Structure formats: C-alpha cells, structure tokens
C-alpha cells in the first residue's frame, strides 16, 4: 500500500447483508469457497459477523481470510468461534528492521503474536504469504524458511506482481519461484513436489527432503496458471473483477441498490466471467497495467 491511502466512505462499500446476498447468488451457481481479503479485512468492524453470515449459506464449504496479522491477536478467538476455516498471514520478513522498511510499520511483534493467537485459537490451516522482490528478499528467504519450518507453518512465496500501490513495479524486480527454489535447495536440501489438492490451486507445494511443512510458490508472473484459474473478485464497493489484472469491472452494487432481482445480478456476474481472458500477459510486451492496486482489489 502507498503511505497515504484515501479510504472510502462507509456508504460506498457493500454492507455485510449485501455481501451475503452476492455470495448466496454465487453459491447457487456452484461457488463453494470464499476468501475475505483487503486492504486489511480486520479493520472492518466486527468482521466475524460477516463470517457467520457467509458460513450460514448452503453450499459454501469454506470461508478463509487473508490478513497482515497486526490486529489478529485481539480477533483470533472471535474469528474461530464464527466458523472461519482458514487464515493466511502476510509476512515478508521476520527481521524487525526489514519488516519496518517494507511495511512502514514497527509491528512485527504484533504480527508474530497474532500468529500465535490464531494457533492457540485452534486454526490448523494457517499459511504464511511472503512476496518476493529483488533487492529486498534475497536476505529474507533463508530466515523465513528456517522460521516456518521450526514453527511447522506452511510458507508460500508469491512473485511480485504489477499491482503495487506506488506503481513502481518492473519486470526485472520479479524474484522468480525458480530462483527461490535454487536458494532453498542450496541451503536446506532437495525440494520434493507435493501433489496438488485441486487443479485450480495457485501454489505449487514442495517439502524439504520429504519432511516438514510445505513450502509453496505462486509463480503468477514467470509461470502463469491462467488456464486453471477459477477465481473472481468482488471489490469492497461491489465491482466484479474476473482477474486480478483485469482492466474492466462490472458493477453489482448499482444493481443491488436499485432493487434488481437475483436473476439480473446473476446475469451481470455471468457477463463478467464470460469476458475473462485466456491469460493476463504480465510477462509480455502487450501487458496493460490495471489502474487499481492490489490493496484496492483483494488478493
């Protein structure tokens, strides 16, 4: 996120009831997994009540959440009680000074305490997401892997995508999954592939020498997985995006607040999905950068 963010007024974003309605429509069409992201979802007041609403929808099998972890220590138990199935915590470094440099917040201790709180609350499927950027991540890979293995946590490295708030991304900054795997094997031993649970899973998982927790790699720039992607995104203000890298959006809030029928909302959702492209092309010369940054879309 950029340093100075202009937040949206409350009446411009979807209410919990409006989000529930959209997800209920999607569930009737076959969607069975939901992830709450941001920005930072835990700044939304009493977000555990939204989790309860989503878990009450028939055919929704899983509700997950991605967070920076800073507010997690105070909310982990309520999220678990609400029925939340899984948490991903974004953590690019376990060095206090490097963390502060990356995030502009002196909050590493809060994040680590939040991870402990989530484990103590009973979250077993806890994942750590680390974005890999050349010039920043070279010194962080080995400490992160060592820490995650010691904590028995599933660590995933995500390639730096052209969705940064400062719009400073350049292709040469991409620390590819292949580069990361070379560093890890050099320091820890051979990485053995793990069979994917789902074909649409964005991460390719490995184990070190066939033991310990998985290490995943989301190589969205160097090895795009668009052909198997089954995800769509609804922004906080109710816009459908059929891809993180899409330059088009389809307004669902306008329909909801004009008292449109569920059928009309479903038609607009289907229209957006029908326009999903075969690939995002971020590693090609034809790529057109989206105007929105990741924190405005939802990862």
Note the pLDDT tens digit of each residue in 114-130: 999 999 999 998 999 99
Q: In the predicted model, is pLDDT for residue 5 greater than 80?
A: no
- Local confidence band at 296 (pLDDT 50, 70, 90 cut-offs): low
Q: What is the mean pLDDT of residues 1-24?
A: 83
Q: Point out the least confidently predicted range of 21-25, 182-186, 240-244, 245-249.
A: 245-249
Q: What is the pLDDT of residue 164?
A: 44
- Local confidence band at 220 (pLDDT 50, 70, 90 cut-offs): confident
- Local confidence band at 196 (pLDDT 50, 70, 90 cut-offs): confident
- Per domain, the residue ranges of the chain are 231-299
Angle between helices 72-82 and 108-121 (to 10 degrees): 20
**Cβ within 8 Å of residue 286, ≥6 positions away:** none
293 compared with 22, residue with greater pLDDT: 22
- Local confidence band at 247 (pLDDT 50, 70, 90 cut-offs): confident
> Rounded to 5 degrees, what are φ and ψ at 250?
-125, 125
Q: What is the mean pLDDT of residues 77-102?
A: 96
Q: In the predicted model, is pLDDT for residue 273 greater than 50?
A: yes
- Local confidence band at 149 (pLDDT 50, 70, 90 cut-offs): very high
Q: Quick check: 21 and 256 in contact, CB under 8 A? A: yes
Question: Residue 124 corresponds to which tokens in the numbers above?
Answer: 């077993």
Q: Point out the least confidently predicted range of 6-15, 152-161, 183-192, 208-217.
A: 6-15
200 compared with 190, residue with greater pLDDT: 190
Q: In the predicted model, is pLDDT for residue 169 greater than 50?
A: no
Q: What is the mean pLDDT of residues 5-29?
A: 90
Q: In the predicted model, is pLDDT for residue 49 greater than 90?
A: yes
Rounded Cα–Cα distance for residues 171 and 162 (Å)? 8
């Amino acid at each position: 996120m950029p340093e100075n963010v202009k937040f949206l007024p409350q009446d411009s974003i979807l209410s919990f009831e409006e989000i529930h309605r959209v997800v209920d429509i999607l569930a009737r069409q076959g969607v069975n997994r939901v992830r709450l992201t941001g920005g930072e979802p835990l700044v939304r007041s009493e977000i555990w009540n939204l989790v309860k609403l989503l878990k009450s929808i028939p055919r929704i099998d899983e509700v997950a959440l991605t967070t920076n972890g800073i507010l997690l220590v105070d909310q982990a138990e309520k999220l678990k009680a609400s029925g939340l199935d899984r948490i991903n915590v974004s953590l690019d470094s376990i060095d206090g000074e490097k963390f502060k440099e990356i995030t502009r917040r002196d909050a590493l201790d809060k994040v680590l305490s939040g991870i402990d709180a989530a484990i103590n609350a009973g979250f077993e499927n806890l994942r750590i997401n680390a974005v890999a950027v050349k010039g920043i991540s070279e010194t962080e890979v080995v400490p992160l892997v060592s820490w995650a293995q010691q904590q028995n946590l599933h660590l995933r490295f995500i390639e730096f995508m052209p969705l940064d708030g400062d719009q400073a991304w350049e292709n040469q900054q991409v620390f590819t999954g292949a580069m990361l795997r070379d560093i890890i094997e050099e320091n820890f031993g051979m990485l053995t592939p793990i069979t994917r649970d789902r074909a649409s899973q964005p991460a390719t998982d490995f184990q070190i020498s066939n033991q310990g927790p998985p290490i995943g790699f989301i190589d969205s720039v160097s090895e795009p997985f668009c052909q198997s992607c089954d995800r769509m995104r609804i922004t906080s203000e109710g816009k459908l995006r059929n891809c993180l890298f899409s330059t088009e959006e389809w307004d669902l809030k306008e329909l909801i607040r004009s008292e449109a029928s569920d059928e009309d909302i479903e038609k607009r959702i289907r229209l957006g999905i029908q326009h999903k492209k075969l690939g995002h092309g971020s590693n090609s010369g034809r790529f057109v950068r989206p105007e929105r940054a990741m924190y405005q879309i939802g990862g």
